[in-house]
Amino acid sequence: MRALIILTLLTFLSIEHPMAHTPASPIVKSELAPTGKIRASINVGNPILAKRDDEHSKPYGVSIDLATNLAQELGLELELVVFDSAGKSVDAVTNKKADFGFFAIDPVRGKEITFTNAYIVIEGAYVVPNNSSIQTNDEVDQTKNRIVVGKGSAYDLYLTREIKHAQIVHAPTSPKVVEFFVNGGYEVGAGVKQQLEMDLKTYPTIRLLPGRFMEINQSMGVNKDVSEATKAYLKDYVERMKASGFVAEALARHHIQGAAVAPAGK
């Protein structure tokens, strides 16, 4: 009986487990850390992913946790390359100033970056002045409206494709959208729902439109020049972090509202 139990246990352990993975090959390590350190492009312009208390403090958040854990798994030193906008973060990986980053999946960015499946899903929302006649998201796309959005953000890329009548106006970064929108007397502001909800506390003259105008799939990404092995390793890493509960725990640890763990990728 004891032999049978041991045999059964060994059989169970040999079955592929969702968390099992093949250690990174030397090629993968060299491509993810060509300078000897693994450089993570971090966007503190999206508080769901990462933020810092001031420009001199260390950033923290879900993406920092994922980057730190990846570096530990690979046995590499981590270097954070921090930016205040998604566009700058994308450019860093595109131009190989960083080795990987955390981005919303978008076909425009996909020309230079290979994305993993999403690890979290967040919502994009609109704000309008309290006295605005706009009550629903469907009323936004009109010629009389100007929509303020962070330059180069996922919302900018999405709205540039989808908006047919309203005018797109660019704020310098996503965190500056509401300030820019209010000071400029514009009709609509667009951004991360959670960020907009926080901004309502500072600007009581505006309100959030109900629902969302888009759902954003946040992923990890690498430059398209790396090998298929490196792309596969990063994709597998994201799936393991979702399946293990790591992403859910990071969201809870950083008290993130308005985001959910993305479903398992195919």
Q: How far is CA 262 from CA 9, 32, 120, 193, 238, in A?
A: 32, 24, 5, 17, 10
pLDDT at 3: 39
193 domain residue, yes or no: yes
Asked if residue 226 and residue 115 are part of one domain, the reply reads: yes
Q: Are residues 105 and 144 in the same domain?
A: no
Residues 132 and 196 in one domain: yes
What is the spatial distance between Cα 25 and Cα 30, in angstroms, rounded to a whole number? 9
Same domain, 77 and 191: no
210 lies in the same domain as 140 = yes
The answer to whether 39 and 222 are in contact (CB under 8 A) is no
Residue 59's alpha-carbon distances to 68, 79, 112, 150, 249, in angstroms, are 12, 12, 26, 20, 18
Considering the domain architecture, whether residues 184 and 254 belong to the same structural domain is answered as no
> Residue 154: what pLDDT?
79
Our separate counts of H helices and E strands in the chain read 9, 11
Q: What is the mean pLDDT of each run of 10 residues along the chain (266 residues)?
A: 36 39 86 96 89 87 97 96 91 96 89 95 94 97 97 86 96 91 97 88 96 91 96 97 96 85 86
- Residue 257: what pLDDT? 72
Is the same domain home to 144 and 208?
yes
Task: Kindly state whether residues 203 and 244 are assigned to the same domain.
Answer: no
In a domain, 203, yes or no: yes
Strand partners, 93: none
Q: What is the CATH number of the domain that holds 168?
A: 3.40.190.10
pLDDT for 138:
96
Same-domain pairing of 89 and 136:
no
**Can you give the pTM of this predicted structure?**
0.73
| Structure letter (DSSP) for residue 265 | P
Residues 101, 145, single domain; the answer is no
Structure tokens belonging to residue 220: 């990890």
Give the count of domains, the chain: 2
Q: Are residues 182 and 71 in the same domain?
A: no
CB 239 within 8 A of CB 109: no
Q: Which domain holds residue 169?
A: 122-214
Q: Please name the amino acid found at residue 186.
A: Y
- Per-residue pLDDT, 19: 54
**Rounded Cα–Cα distance for residues 80 and 39 (Å):** 6
How many residues are listed for the chain in this entry? 266
Find the helix or strand (DSSP H, E) in which 178 lies.
helix 177-184
Query: Cβ neighbours of residue 1 under 8 Å, at least 6 residues apart?
Result: none
31 part of a folded domain: no
